[in-house]
Structure 1
Amino acid sequence: MDKKPKIVVVGDALLTPEFLAESFSSFAAAGWDVVPFRFGPPTLHELDEQLLVLEREGPDAIPAPEGLEPLLADAELLVVHICPVSSSLLERNPQLLAVGVLRGGYENVDAAGAEKLGIPVVHTLGRTSEAVSDFTVGMMLAEMRNIARCHADIRAGGWPKEFPNTGRIPEMRELTVGIAGFGEIGRLVAKKLGGFGCRVLAYDPYVPDDAVRGAGAEPADWETLLAESDVLTLHSRHSAGSPPLLGEAEFARMKAGSYLINTARAGLVDMAALAAALRSGRLSGAALDVFDAEPLTPDHPLRGLDNVTMTSHIAFDTEAFYKRSSVLWREGMDRLFEGSDRRVWINKTPLADERIEKLKALWQAAAAKV
């Protein structure tokens, strides 16, 4: 009897194994052996802490959960959310045809190590794009228009009329908004800002100028983005071990009185330097959803500042995010195998072609049975 193809899906406190098993039930209906497994601690706070470690230090910083490796010995496909996938784990499971990541970011997977082994890594495009781009625009308005701090003051018994930027509160149509990182989320931010009449600049060395213009923004180099943006919003990736994109020198080159928005990665910003720029008035304000310590520590330098809006890493948190994670990943795989969109395949190497073709045959055979 032929062996059934096997997919191991690793959930966590956010996307639970039970949810993923249900999400991949069509594979089981098509004859795959679907094996759910769990990574990580039971609470979202603890999971956030582990994700921060993985983003800063890479997939070797946290071991894979005990009991996972025996399940992989005869698996064709491993799909994870936040679970770390190191090159050593892959070296011990060379039969894997691919590793799927149910996130746009893939810091928890050693993609370079997988590439050396010829194992494709396939991530998820667009999973949080709508949610995070909506939230980003909301953070701009909340900080510049004092929405959150006014609400907090009223809840505490006040009725505030004076704010850190009183007398300098802008209207959106007056602003130049700079977008650092012009991928899926950056482009949606530009589109949504179009309705406000802003001037939108975009910096991304990997995106052609024509594509930037076609998405409603003006191409800009890094120095221009810093010097001319009234609001700078970050939508770049951050590689483990890389220095921050914004530190003391960059804040000094930003437009005086500008605002910073970060709904991307905590490692993009030197938090101590940001706090100093906010205290000095170099920046009028900032709004952040990601931090170098989550939950925020009592002595964090941003605590106590009255010109910063902070949220608890919730920019992604919509109903659609949960429902669509695995759907979007599968749709990306469909496009990959159709040849219409290879962006989901991170580490495109000739070594991977044979595996992709084998997985493609299994994938399409399963699709024919559903």
Structure 2
Amino acid sequence: MKLVGIGDLFIPKRFIKEGFQSLEALGVDVEVLDWELKDHTELQHVNLMVENGGSDAYDPPDYIMEAVRDADIIITQFCPINRKVIDQCPNLKVIGILRSGYENINTEYASSKGILVYNTPGRNADAVADFTVGLLIAECRNIARGHLGLKEGRWIREYPNTAQIPDLPGKTVGLVGLGEIGLKVARRLTGFDMKIIGYDPFASQVPDYVTLVELEDLMKQSDFVSLHVRLTPDTEGMIDDRLLALMKPSAYLINTSRSALVNEQALYRALKDRKLAGAALDVFDVEPPGIDYPLVTLDNITLTPHMAGGSIDAFYQSPKKLAPEIAKLWQKEDSRYLVNRNLFDQWLETSSFA
């Protein structure tokens, strides 16, 4: 049995090799190669192509197609595994993605071929949660603006939110989405003595320090709104003019999730017209946005270049998180990492995998 791991600029092949070495004891031949990209800008371009157009928007280069041709298991992080790749891999039984998002996999087509798809949920949850709290504080306390001022030789004492600079204790933070990242943010912010409310139609049980409310109530009550939901047709553009208008003029919006959750034009208008105190964003509809990008031109916003999940620990530990979940197949065990779980029982009956 052959596993082929496709490394990239964030998780080089040696970390995949190390992470999946444990499968060699099960008779798996672990081979790895790197997806050779010019730089991070090229990788970002491909990721945006895939995010906007699906996995079939980009075909991997020929050397990757050749390397995976006889693979039983393919491991990837960002390199797309689309219909073309799947069609040329007659032995393929499992696809593993070293992150929670799986937009770069044609999951529907893989499922139609009886191929199991695994992701790595929460692999960067700590990194994103830490960064979210950092952004929240940086924006409301003007840390980035003060830093930039000093670098430019200015000693700034007046900021756009000078009349609304808060202490965190007693303030209300509203978390839209209470998955692994949202709950980690909640746990961190309890350390600041904040009141935590949340909206998640799929959350039935939450910690006792989180109060579930309807989305409209969350927008009205929160001093900070932080987004932690997956982008789907139902959530695309969910934060629009109507919901933004419900927020307090002293409130802040934080987005370290997906840009398309927010109507950027609506947010631009709300910030420009001082309907909100500020916002902090790590994601944009166009990346990189450029200095003339409407949101970039505002003075009441903190911006970072899509880096919330980018800690070394998050990247390098991903293979070690995913490998034992795939190894459960040898024991005919299910896994919470399995994306197309509806196939599992049928797959066990028909596969000669283990």
| TM-score (normalizing by structure 1) | 0.87
- The equivalent of 2:206 in structure 1 is 212
Equivalent residue letter for 1:121: V
Structure 1 residue corresponding to 2:155, chosen from 148, 155, 159: 159
Q: Report the Cα offset of residue 29 of structure 1.
A: 6.1
Equivalent residue letter for 1:346: V
In terms of mean alpha carbon deviation, does 75-84 or 31-40 score higher? 31-40
State the distance in 1 between where 2:81 and 2:333 align. Answer: 28
Structure 2 residue corresponding to 1:44, chosen from 26, 36, 40: 40
State the distance in 1 between where 2:84 and 2:277 align. Answer: 47
Q: Secondary structure at the match of 2:249?
A: coil
- The equivalent of 2:289 in structure 1 is 296
- The equivalent of 1:11 in structure 2 is 7
8 Å contact from structure 2 (residues 176, 225) kept in 1: yes
Q: Report the Cα offset of residue 350 of structure 1.
A: 3.7
Structure 2 residue corresponding to 1:312, chosen from 285, 305, 312: 305
How many residue pairs were aligned? 354
State the distance in 1 between where 2:90 and 2:234 align. Answer: 27
Gaps of 5+ in 1: 362-370
Gaps of 5+ in 2: none
In terms of mean alpha carbon deviation, does 244-253 or 42-51 score higher? 244-253
- The equivalent of 1:225 in structure 2 is 218
- The equivalent of 1:113 in structure 2 is 109
Structure 1 residue corresponding to 2:252, chosen from 259, 270, 288: 259
8 Å contact from structure 2 (residues 239, 261) kept in 1: yes
- The equivalent of 1:250 in structure 2 is 243
- The equivalent of 1:364 in structure 2 is none
State the distance in 2 between where 1:275 and 1:100 align. Answer: 38
Instruction: Evaluate the alpha carbon distance shift between residue 96 and residue 223 of structure 1 in structure 2; reply closer, same or farther with a 3 A threshold.
Output: same
Instruction: Evaluate the alpha carbon distance shift between residue 331 and residue 304 of structure 1 in structure 2; reply closer, same or farther with a 3 A threshold.
Output: same
1:87-146: CA deviation from partner (whole Å, max 9, x where unpaired)? 443244353221100001111112222222221111002210111101101111000011
Q: Secondary structure at the match of 2:317?
A: helix
8 Å contact from structure 1 (residues 126, 328) kept in 2: no
Instruction: Evaluate the alpha carbon distance shift between residue 359 and residue 260 of structure 1 in structure 2; reply closer, same or farther with a 3 A threshold.
Output: farther
Say whether 1:280 aligns with 2:273.
yes
- The equivalent of 1:365 in structure 2 is none
Equivalent residue letter for 1:324: Q
Equivalent residue letter for 1:294: E
- RMSD over aligned Cα, in angstroms? 2.5
Q: Report the Cα offset of residue 325 of structure 1.
A: 1.1
8 Å contact from structure 1 (residues 257, 281) kept in 2: no
Q: Secondary structure at the match of 1:245?
A: coil
Instruction: Evaluate the alpha carbon distance shift between residue 240 and residue 222 of structure 1 in structure 2; reply closer, same or farther with a 3 A threshold.
Output: closer
State the distance in 2 between where 1:57 and 1:310 align. Answer: 25
Note the 1:1-370 alignment, pairs <5 A.
Answer: 5-28=1-24, 31-39=27-35, 41-208=37-204, 211-214=205-208, 216-239=209-232, 243-334=236-327, 342-350=335-343, 353-355=346-348, 358=351, 361=354
| TM-score (normalizing by structure 2) | 0.91
In terms of mean alpha carbon deviation, does 177-186 or 236-245 score higher? 236-245
In terms of mean alpha carbon deviation, does 31-40 or 96-105 score higher? 31-40
Instruction: Evaluate the alpha carbon distance shift between residue 30 and residue 98 of structure 1 in structure 2; reply closer, same or farther with a 3 A threshold.
Output: closer
Q: Secondary structure at the match of 1:35?
A: strand
8 Å contact from structure 2 (residues 221, 247) kept in 1: yes
8 Å contact from structure 2 (residues 15, 316) kept in 1: no
State the distance in 2 between where 1:336 and 1:182 align. Answer: 29
1:5-47: CA deviation from partner (whole Å, max 9, x where unpaired)? 1011112222123432343334446542222233362211221
State the distance in 1 between where 2:169 and 2:332 align. Answer: 41
1:249-270: CA deviation from partner (whole Å, max 9, x where unpaired)? 3322333331111111122222
